[in-house]
Structure 1
């Protein structure tokens, strides 16, 4: 049986979203629990799949710029297009891939500090067996990122 999140779990998750590097003792003080109780709750949240992983977001610092491209991918066969997804998993600059309803099969988010690298990735994806077509749009700016 999966555990239902309570208000304290929600507070812990909120604090971790705001600052994932917060220490257990600092987090414990914010949610009025002991350090050990916070650790146990975080471990349970990980085990239950509420916390699915930890991510490093690079770029955004002074003097750095990351270019984001959204690539809409059409596959020859929507139901048996697993080879395309496996090929996409191997490209480190792909930070997200969503299976879509409607006209597009996949929405792929590519982030790179090198625009030319995005062009190479676009070519690489277009050449994957099973890809019928692609449509690429570059993001001008990111307004909300959580």
Structure 2
């Protein structure tokens, strides 16, 4: 299990989430630590996979894709995920793909310009013949966008729920 983040890591991550353009020097000034300390912490967080990049967050709605949908796909198991995953990588409107439990095998988040365009995207998703069944739901409104700030704060403060293997009987 990776080492938990400490208070400085937590404050650094919160600062970068709130003000991603701040840079290493600005973060060091804001946090009251040396520039080298901030850089070393960032390097360590990247190596551990806590953060993966410093790319901007792009809003599909602002690019002209206001429709978000979640497609549950059942696939032919003998072919595995990789051929379909490679196909899905080629569809720009496919934003995420997750393996899941339940009635389907994959959950795919897609965006579209409107409902007829969503039909085009779904047709493209299932065009390979590897999908045996699909179910799609359209998101009406995003009530809570993807967030990690509270999780980072709870982990940095040691309040995050321990993993099941770490739980000890009282």
TM range (shorter): 0.7 to 0.9
**Shift, 1:65, TM fit:** 6.0
After the TM superposition, which of the residue ranges 48-57 and 97-106 deviates more from structure 2? Answer: 48-57
CA displacement 1:39-83 (0-9 Å, x = unmatched): 22112211221112335322455xx66210111111121782321
**Shift, 1:143, TM fit:** 0.5
> Do structure 1's residue 89 and structure 2's residue 92 form an aligned pair?
no
> Do structure 1's residue 57 and structure 2's residue 58 form an aligned pair?
yes
Structure 2 runs not aligned, ≥5 long:
148-170
TM-score, normalised by the number of residues in structure 2: 0.73
Closer/same/farther in 2, CA of residues 86 and 65 from structure 1, 3 Å limit: closer
Cross-structure match for 1:6: 6
Contact 2:65 2:111 in 1 (8 A): no
Cross-structure match for 1:35: 35
Closer/same/farther in 2, CA of residues 27 and 85 from structure 1, 3 Å limit: same
Count of residues in Structure 1 that have an aligned counterpart in Structure 2: 145
Q: Aligned-residue CA RMSD in angstroms?
A: 2.5
TM-score, normalised by the number of residues in structure 1: 0.84
Cross-structure match for 2:131: 131
Structure 1 runs not aligned, ≥5 long:
none
Query: How far apart, in 1, do the equivalents of 2:30 and 2:78 lie?
Result: 47
Closer/same/farther in 2, CA of residues 59 and 125 from structure 1, 3 Å limit: closer
Query: How far apart, in 2, do the equivalents of 1:132 and 1:100 lie?
Result: 16
Cross-structure match for 1:75: 75
Q: Flag the structure with higher helix content.
A: 2
